[in-house]
Structure 1
Amino acid sequence: MTAIDARRPARLRRAARFALAGFLASLLLASTACARPAAPVTDDEAVAIATRFLDLFDAGKVDEARDAFSVDLRDTLSVEDLQRTHAVYARRAPESTRGEPRVERVGDAAVVEVPVQRGQLVMQASITVGPDRRIEGLFYNLDQGPQAGPAPAADGATGPAGDTDAAPGADTDADADAGTGAGVAA
């Protein structure tokens, strides 16, 4: 055995230690990069995400609309749930009108509230967008009381207040918080 062969195991051990240390360092860096919280969602981002969801949902593209959901919300609301909700929603009128979105901050998340009118049905869509830019909560609040005003129409015209043809199973009290089947609190 030569002197070079005698030093070979020591070099291999050093190289293995160096490779292991490099692997552990890269693993540590990767885990700290993933562990950093996402920056808070901006109001404009939240409105854009909520509006895109509403556009897709109005068009009946529930699979695409559901792609914006967080994992938890996707586990809670199936495609079938959204399709049933859209079917009830679509029977109201061929299209909906929306008012100006309003954003309320909840920590790093934003709750986008959008007044929606579809036929005689007047609702408030509340969509919670988290810091990961995913929809974490979705709820439609039906405004059915005599004090309920319609969502402002795109041309500035307003329709009649209230709803005489409420969604199936909806409570008709003035202060009802009845969802259309897609209500999930964040």
Structure 2
Amino acid sequence: MFVQTIYQSKSRMRIKPHDIAQITAHSTPKNAQCGVTSYLYYDDWYYLHVLEGGAAQVAETMKRVASNKLHHSVKVRLMTRSSERGFEGWPFGSIAADDFELRRVMKNLGHKVLVDANVLDIMKILKRTAGRKLRTMSSLEKRSLSDVGSLKILGSQGNLIEEVLGLRS
């Protein structure tokens, strides 16, 4: 069983491609090491991020996000258990609001602004876009994501909210 969390946050400064490159360089190996897969949407001011993995690993990642000076107004939009990953193959994927493929998928589903969509549509849009991106990548690009086959399936017990909030060990 996996935990799947979608959070939204506001950036303290305008988000630039350099910022995303730094986040990607830091997060990709860390996520691969601890068995977390993720996909980040960003525009000039907002992040919308899907995290997947074991409850403890997702909780630890959320704690880092909440304490990170880049973010404020962190809101969990969805937290659920899932038997499969929606973003397998992405230790840390990211997509900008102005990405052509994302805009096309959003238009097909009748959305203009992703952060205003409901969580089910957000997941559908990001999964379709990530899947299309993954299919068009070269084998070297895919390999550079990391050895996703080494990601572990990490189980958990107990109340999901309590675990993530740190109320239960």
**TM-score exceeds 0.5:** no
Larger radius of gyration: 1
Q: Which has the higher strand share?
A: 2
Which TM-score applies when normalising by structure 1? 0.25
Say which structure, 1 or 2, has more relative contact order (CA 8 Å, 6+ apart).
2
When the two structures are superposed, what TM-score results if normalisation uses the length of structure 2? 0.27
More helix by share: 2
